């Protein structure tokens, strides 16, 4: 985290590591995530404030975003085990509202899993990490080895069954 000194706001900074910043595909994904986040304005997604090259980090790209006080759902599940059904319902509703909003905008997440859900201090859910997001209706090429090795337990059933055209069902089946 950091503080925007001009206005005194706490922010999160996502810095692309230099050892992977050189990979063209990784850079493209990082910039695409910034554009996707910048196009979203919903209470269960984080706002993006700025994209820049961090001189202090050797010119690596950095994304300045809304800071969320909380912890990843994955950590909560590890610490507490299965959550009470009411809490699951409340989080699920918020996640589905965020996905419904992004789907109306023609964006699917494609990597929905507990590690990519941040739970705020007051129980609010934020859908995070939009690096694999896609625009609906675009024809997809075969996934790279990196994408194939992504956490398969949380990949949507719909995406695995259909190889070319993505739909909003790709995220809905994961929720």
Q: Tell me how many degrees the CA angle 161-31-39 measures, rounded to the nearest 5.
A: 80
The closest alpha carbon to 26, from 127, 144, 126, belongs to 144
Handedness of CA 49, 65, 107, 40 (dihedral sign): negative
To the query of whether residue 171 is one of the catalytic residues in this protein, the response is: no
Contact present, 60 and 18 (Cβ < 8 Å):
yes
The closest alpha carbon to 28, from 144, 170, 106, belongs to 144
Q: Give the Å distances, CA to CA, from 115 to 26, 28, 70.
A: 20, 22, 13
> Phi then psi for 162, rounded to 5 degrees?
-115, 130
Among residues 75, 111, 129, 171, the one annotated as catalytic is 111
Pairing of the two strands 134-135 and 107-108: antiparallel
The closest alpha carbon to 18, from 47, 61, 68, belongs to 61
Residues 170, 141: Cα–Cα separation, whole Å: 16
**Catalytic annotation, residues:** 111
């Amino acid at each position: 985290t950091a503080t925007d000194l001009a206005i005194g706001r706490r922010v999160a900074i996502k810095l692309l590591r230099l050892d992977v910043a050189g990979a063209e595909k990784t850079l493209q994904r990082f910039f695409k995530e910034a554009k996707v986040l910048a196009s979203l304005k919903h209470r269960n997604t984080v706002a993006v404030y700025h994209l820049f090259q961090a001189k202090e980090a050797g010119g690596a790209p950095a994304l300045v975003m809304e800071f969320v006080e909380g912890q990843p759902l994955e950590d909560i599940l590890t610490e507490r085990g299965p959550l009470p059904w009411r809490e699951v319902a409340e989080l699920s509703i918020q996640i589905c509202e965020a996905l419904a909003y992004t789907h109306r905008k023609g964006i699917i997440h494609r990597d929905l899993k507990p590690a990519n859900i941040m739970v705020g201090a007051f129980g609010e859910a934020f859908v995070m990490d939009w690096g694999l997001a896609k625009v609906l209706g675009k024809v997809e090429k075969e996934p790279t080895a990196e994408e194939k090795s992504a956490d398969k337990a949380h990949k949507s059933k719909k995406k695995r069954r259909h190889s070319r055209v993505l739909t909003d069902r790709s995220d809905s089946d994961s929720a």
